[in-house]
Amino acid sequence: MRKPFVAGNWKMHGTVREAAELAGGLAAQIGHVDNVDVALCPPYTAIGTVRDAIRGSRLRLGAQDLHWEKSGAYTGEVSAGMLIDAGCSCVIIGHSERRQFFGETDDSVNRKLKAAVAAGLEAIVCVGETLVEREAGSTLAVVERQLAGGLEGAGCDQLAIAYEPVWAIGTGKVATPDQAQEVHGFIRAWLGRKYGHAADCVRILYGGSVKPDNILSLSAQPDIDGALVGGASLKVDSFLDIVGGSLKRE
Ligand code: PGA
């Protein structure tokens, strides 16, 4: 049985003070029942503050990206070792906004994944098609290409996948549970061919306009193991409702 995993991707939002308030509010209310893994992924500027605000709670700290080298002359970049040092236990890799605006490729995703795992981070590797690709009927081919390139030569021990249809991110247009399950089931089968039974443990999160009112129907799908949440992770109440809604109900 896979434990659901909900990660809040704060993107480029919030001052240090706002981050402290949000993380502090979540830490105070998250409770101690450990039936869902919950991570906060603030901007780098707030990572230390969030780490301090969630200390002693069951919230995990994550980052939104990393560089594959350990250190060096890479202005603006942060390494896996630095994230571990700062208190992170997970990292998002290959988010569609990185792919769209910052030149992320399947090859760079692959390097980042290997660096993250080697350092001991859990990686959340994002895949997903654009609207044009969906309308052209190439959703599964795109996802397969992203998986094959991104996971080339990598294991699945510290791996989670986030399926995020690009057309659903920040648009309010959530994939229907059936649309999401179709792709999640495809990803599960693909992982099974690559990794065998070990793939049963890989959590596949859905992302793209996840809200308290759609999480229940999404998490009822057999291959949806939680969510990567953008906008709705910036408010204590909506994020906690999503965490609660991500539990599998028999
Ligand atoms: P959204 O973002 O929930 O605001 O659509 C999700 C994501 O980009 O991870």
User: pLDDT tens-digit profile of 213-248?
Assistant: 999 999 999 999 999 999 999 999 999 999 999 997
Locate 103 and state its tokens. Answer: 């030149």
Main-chain phi, psi angles of 42, to 5 degrees: -80, 170
Of 17, 108, 27, the C-alpha closest to 61 is: 27
Q: Which of 169, 241, 242, 243 is the pocket-test mutation for ligand 1 (most atoms within 8 Å of CB)? A: 169
Atom of ligand 1 nearest to the CA of 168: 5
Q: Is the CB of 214 under 6 A from ligand 1?
A: no
Which segments of the chain does DSSP mark as H helices, in order? 16-29, 47-54, 80-85, 96-101, 106-119, 131-135, 139-151, 177-195, 215-219, 236-245
8-state DSSP, 118: H
Q: What are the tens digits of pLDDT across the range 52-68?
A: 999 999 999 999 999 99
| pLDDT at residue number 200 | 94
pLDDT in tens, 148-160: 999 999 999 999 9
Give φ, ψ of 153 to 5 degrees.
70, 10
pTM recorded for the entire structure: 0.97
Integer Cα distance of 26 and 45 in angstroms: 19
How many Cα neighbours within 13 Å face the side chain of 172?
0
Asked if residues 102 and 112 have their Cβ atoms less than 8 Å apart, the reply is: no
Q: Give the tens place of pLDDT for each residue, 112-133.
A: 999 999 999 999 999 999 999 9
So which residues are the catalytic ones? 95, 164
| CA 228 to ligand 1 center in whole angstroms | 7
- Please report the pLDDT score of residue 172 as a whole number: 85
Phi and psi torsions of 217, nearest 5° = -70, -30
Q: What is the pLDDT of residue 250?
A: 56
Residue (of 186, 223, 188) closest to 206 by Cα position: 223
What average pLDDT does this structure show over 181-188? 98
